[in-house]
Amino acid sequence: MPRSLEFDPETARAAIMGVFWTKGYEGTTLSDLESATSLVRTSLYNSFGKKPEMFLDSLKLYHETIENQIEAITRGRGSESLIEVISAMMEGADKASQQPAGCLMVMSATQSKTIEPRHLQLVRDYRQMLVGKAKQVLERDKQSGRLARYVDPAGAAEFLVCIVWGALAAQCLSAERDAAADGADMLKMTIQHWLSD
């Protein structure tokens, strides 16, 4: 009869993701992962695979988590909900969780020369998800007449993600949540302007 796990796999997955989010793929050591999960190397390998597999799982978990948060904020709502999404991404959706500044995906994109192609593909998929979600919300407002006539939902969605991606990169570089805060505020004002014209 197989032994039952003596730890919560989901808690361990979240801890592993937090280490990669804080230190990046290159900067993360197995000792860091052992310390964060309170698991010895053998248990880590047996449960989650080697470092590349753990990183792959962290990218998937991050994508799923953020996509669910965006869906919860924007479901059935208009473009003003994108302002809340930007705030959640820049300021942290749950301040009590003390999640790191920046973005695991943005940080991973800056390490594109050292991560594996399968990792980089997940980063691309994540970015495409962001564009798709923003476009979906903007198109709803375009159809209802709330969005200014000059705003193209596809171009506007790409614009929003470009600016947010850059702002999150600034957070990754400084490890401070208020990095690029002024730029994020201007972006929120832009969305409001699209709705008021």
pLDDT per residue as tens digits for the range 172-184: 888 777 778 888 8
Residue 92 binned pLDDT confidence (cut-offs 50, 70, 90):
low
- Indicate the pTM of the whole model: 0.90
Residue 34 binned pLDDT confidence (cut-offs 50, 70, 90):
very high
Coil vs helix vs strand at 173: helix
Is 114 inside any structural domain? Answer: yes
Q: Which residue has the tokens 């994109």?
A: 109
Q: What is the CATH number of the domain that holds 84?
A: 1.10.357.10
**Mean pLDDT across 121-127:** 98
Is 74 inside any structural domain? Answer: yes
Whether the pLDDT of residue 4 is over 50: the answer is no
> In 10 A of CB 7, how many CB atoms?
13
Is 83 inside any structural domain? Answer: yes
Is 15 inside any structural domain? Answer: no
DSSP type of residue 50: S
- CB neighbours of 164 closer than 8 A, spacing ≥ 6? 86, 89, 90, 130, 184, 187
Q: What is the pLDDT of residue 61?
A: 98
Q: What is the pLDDT of residue 28?
A: 96
- CB neighbours of 9 closer than 8 A, spacing ≥ 6? 47
Domain count, the chain: 1
Q: What is the pLDDT of residue 3?
A: 45
The two three-digit tokens of residue 186, written as one number: 């201007």
Is 10 inside any structural domain? Answer: no
Give the residue numbers spanning the domain of 83.
Answer: 59-196
Contact (CB, 8 A) for 67 and 122: no
Whether the pLDDT of residue 189 is over 90: the answer is yes
Is 113 inside any structural domain? Answer: yes
More confident residue, 8 or 97: 8
Whether the pLDDT of residue 93 is over 70: the answer is no
Q: What is the pLDDT of residue 122?
A: 98
Is 23 inside any structural domain? Answer: no
The vertex-180 CA angle with 174 and 181, nearest 5°, equals: 120
Considering the chain, what percentage of its residues have pLDDT values greater than 70? 93
Is 102 inside any structural domain? Answer: yes
Q: What is the pLDDT of residue 197?
A: 54
